[in-house]
Structure 1
């Protein structure tokens, strides 16, 4: 690794509590700026995001995508067959060895954690393994010995709290790690669940429901809202729900789960209206809670929201001037990419480097379902809510020649532009690998490009990204004439 050089010698010290994406980036950036850095982490560098959340879950989803590609290969003229003893063709089935899948993805997660740890060590970061808590505004006390018998005290000029969050648990549906599971416990399963009931239709619930459906499990998705992904673009959610139902998933909308109980050979989920849903396993995906209790935050004077999240400003600073916070434990957007940027921003601000305050409208997000849903900037529902004169153009992906070649039937490109000026305000992409396709729109939002400027960029023909060019070209009239009615 090539170390970054700083234009000034930094004599400050930084202590980071929590080694997830936010804490990791804070520690690395501080070391690169020449500070003396200590990182305290109890589970391993990368935190829950790397070890039990983002990395393993997205690895599982990649396996599910591979299973779908094999199953749908016949649509492209690729046929798999085997012969029986009489030489007659058999129709093979895609088999999922879930124990092998889980072993692989947990190994990948640990490898990623080890790689991140090595980067920190090479950068000069001191790493302490143990449970940490703030002793005051300039010190972290770490319990390092068995049973919490040994302690280490770390003093620093700047503290960064990045302790993350944990799955929310309900008293009427307590996880047992066997049949009733949180998303961190799924990777202990040795075989594909016969019938997985997913409670919660937000991002986490939708992602795991999509993955296990595509791996071959029977899935029922219980949603307390009127649709899947209530926080996402309505058109995008509608596409995904259609795909879910076409794949055999049962989607129960406006169905709040009251309790989940073990049975002799599975689980039974009781809904608020008295209905019950029986299954072999239940995944509880009902949100998360910040890991902020009992670590000395309030005693240090740090302001917390009623939910327990740490109140931070746009440079990740808390109510205590020398203490910053990053990641899912804060009141900002709970994304790994945001946590990383918060961590770097916090350190840059604390150590006097150039800082660009974080803005929610610059954030790119993705839902790793099949198809994926990627968003950036203002969304369609924001236009009326904020009184913005905007124009929305949606182009079905099925019209794209590359999509036809790949057999892609579902999805679209949606661009939100400012009526008159043509500035790109936001976008939505529903497609395979939407997480990759959204990047040019994110650049347009960040750099305040107009739809005409984007339309003049050459796209490869044929390519899925060509639909972005097509959509912005179609919006040209609106940039010319503010009176055009969409």
Structure 2
């Protein structure tokens, strides 16, 4: 996929087309908004500055990195399988070879996304979008011509890109971000990852399971501090067990680029030499060159837009969703935000939607997923709670699959038995969490008793809910 480049010649303007809703960006947030408005009978168009739909999620973020992670997980599982011990010596796949695993997934997703727009008769206008005024958008096409569209409402879903500090030269072949690491042509011996957020931890898992020497530099005192402490402690332990070196409370000081590799200098005085530096410290919203300031919409220092509970910007008929508004910066959340924004612009009387039961999914090896409150949050709010736990090493399905690392933890109100949070670490965690999410979203069903009274197939990973429920309820007696 090629990024759009405007021609240098004279630009020809066409007459302005009129729409009810124009969505800028075709990632999950843009797709959610466009499909909702189109299915409600509105005349909708989407603007995409690249030559294929899907946004960064499909081409540089969620889909390619998770496809790569899946390939690495499969390779790791095969190597660990005692039935295949005679074939281990033949399993020597390189990083570039494994990168090819993402291509078919990306192609399939692009085709699916394109069909959605075609079926719903939503035209995809290719080019770079810039506001002329609060109701007019100028779209500079790839050939240099300019199209104008007029709309009653706009939804900005332009996503984000890796943050690039000025002192780093990302044109250097051994200095990469989370986009360009997907084009790295060699199999590195060592990788330093600066930034231990979601992206940094996921790539640490990928590379360490490829047998690469990994140093993960964290600017905070623990990994993924927004998650439940017990879960992040488990992640830290297993990354170290796999061979990853984690450096907490470190700050960037400089970079050196000798003839071979790179050297990361930290303010503590530490110097870390490796083949590759993967910079994974933050994202920047794609809001530059859109002329938003002229409308009274001011992005923050990271290019992100402030919105209200209905996802409206400072200009009420212009909405913003997805990574461009900052956390939680999840593809699943972006899609829901896009749908909610479209629902509100169609019916402004609608109340704000509940977003607290949107789960987080972190595709480390093993996975992490959670929904609801953490123990720290419940302690700070002085909520009387208890926890029920199920260790995967005691679950029959996990034993059969030889995926016994991990656990399920359910936090619940000690008096009402209401489920307050579900936290999972282990294989298929991002799937397992949805059972807890469904129970939490239904007030009539939300009780630990549900997990005790429900019959789960045996053997399944879902059985962990019954085990954890009994464990938690036994603590009350």
TM-score, L = length of structure 2:
0.91
Q: Distance in 2 between matches of 1:473 and 1:287?
A: 41
Q: Distance in 2 between matches of 1:177 and 1:18?
A: 29
Say whether residues 1:291 and 2:299 are aligned partners: no
Q: Distance in 1 between matches of 2:169 and 2:111?
A: 32
Which secondary structure state, in structure 2, belongs to the residue aligned with residue 215 of structure 1?
A: coil
Partner residue, 2:201? 206
Change (3 A) 1:466 1:347: same
- Determine which of 187, 190, 196 is the counterpart of 2:191: 196
Contact 1:222 1:257 in 2 (8 A): no
Say whether residues 1:23 and 2:30 are aligned partners: yes
Q: Distance in 1 between matches of 2:350 and 2:369?
A: 26
- The worse-fitting range, judged by mean Cα deviation, of 288-297 and 434-443 is 288-297
Partner residue, 2:241? 246
The Cα offsets for residues 363-418 of structure 1, whole Å up to 9 and x where unpaired, read as 10111011111000111111122222222223322222222222233211111111
Q: Distance in 1 between matches of 2:292 and 2:380?
A: 36
- Determine which of 405, 416, 422 is the counterpart of 1:410: 405
Say whether residues 1:266 and 2:261 are aligned partners: yes
Q: Distance in 1 between matches of 2:150 and 2:212?
A: 51
Partner residue, 2:273? 278
Partner residue, 1:142? 139
Following TM superposition, by how much is the alpha carbon of 1:24 offset from its aligned partner in structure 2, in angstroms? Answer: 1.4
- Determine which of 205, 216, 220 is the counterpart of 1:225: 220
Following TM superposition, by how much is the alpha carbon of 1:303 offset from its aligned partner in structure 2, in angstroms? Answer: 5.2
- Determine which of 114, 117, 126 is the counterpart of 2:114: 117
Q: Distance in 2 between matches of 1:306 and 1:182?
A: 19
Q: Distance in 1 between matches of 2:112 and 2:247?
A: 42
- The worse-fitting range, judged by mean Cα deviation, of 111-120 and 417-426 is 111-120
Q: Distance in 1 between matches of 2:311 and 2:119?
A: 26
Say whether residues 1:72 and 2:72 are aligned partners: no
The runs of 5 or more residues in structure 2 that have no matched partner are 1-17
Which secondary structure state, in structure 1, belongs to the residue aligned with residue 91 of structure 2?
A: coil
Contact 2:190 2:214 in 1 (8 A): yes
Change (3 A) 1:474 1:356: farther
Change (3 A) 1:249 1:351: same
Say whether residues 1:350 and 2:345 are aligned partners: yes
Which secondary structure state, in structure 2, belongs to the residue aligned with residue 299 of structure 1?
A: helix
Contact 2:389 2:469 in 1 (8 A): no
Q: Distance in 2 between matches of 1:100 and 1:79?
A: 21
The Cα offsets for residues 146-199 of structure 1, whole Å up to 9 and x where unpaired, read as 3xx311111111110111111011223332262000010012122221111111
- Determine which of 452, 464, 468 is the counterpart of 2:465: 468
Which secondary structure state, in structure 1, belongs to the residue aligned with residue 21 of structure 2?
A: strand
Partner residue, 1:3? none
* Counterpart mapping for 1:407-486 below 5 A: 407-448=402-443, 449-476=446-473
Change (3 A) 1:204 1:332: closer
Partner residue, 1:85? none
Partner residue, 1:126? 123
Following TM superposition, by how much is the alpha carbon of 1:267 offset from its aligned partner in structure 2, in angstroms? Answer: 0.7
Say whether residues 1:163 and 2:158 are aligned partners: yes
Q: Distance in 2 between matches of 1:170 and 1:347?
A: 35
The runs of 5 or more residues in structure 1 that have no matched partner are 1-10, 83-90
Which secondary structure state, in structure 1, belongs to the residue aligned with residue 61 of structure 2?
A: helix
- The worse-fitting range, judged by mean Cα deviation, of 99-108 and 264-273 is 99-108
Contact 2:387 2:411 in 1 (8 A): yes
- The worse-fitting range, judged by mean Cα deviation, of 229-238 and 282-291 is 229-238
Q: Distance in 2 between matches of 1:208 and 1:18?
A: 26
TM-score, L = length of structure 1:
0.89
* Counterpart mapping for 1:90-105 below 5 A: 92-105=89-102
Following TM superposition, by how much is the alpha carbon of 1:279 offset from its aligned partner in structure 2, in angstroms? Answer: 0.5
Q: Distance in 1 between matches of 2:300 and 2:247?
A: 32
Partner residue, 1:35? 42
Following TM superposition, by how much is the alpha carbon of 1:101 offset from its aligned partner in structure 2, in angstroms? Answer: 2.5
Partner residue, 1:7? none
The Cα offsets for residues 107-129 of structure 1, whole Å up to 9 and x where unpaired, read as 42133123201220221001111
Contact 2:389 2:472 in 1 (8 A): no
Change (3 A) 1:204 1:275: same
Which secondary structure state, in structure 1, belongs to the residue aligned with residue 356 of structure 2?
A: helix
Say whether residues 1:182 and 2:177 are aligned partners: yes
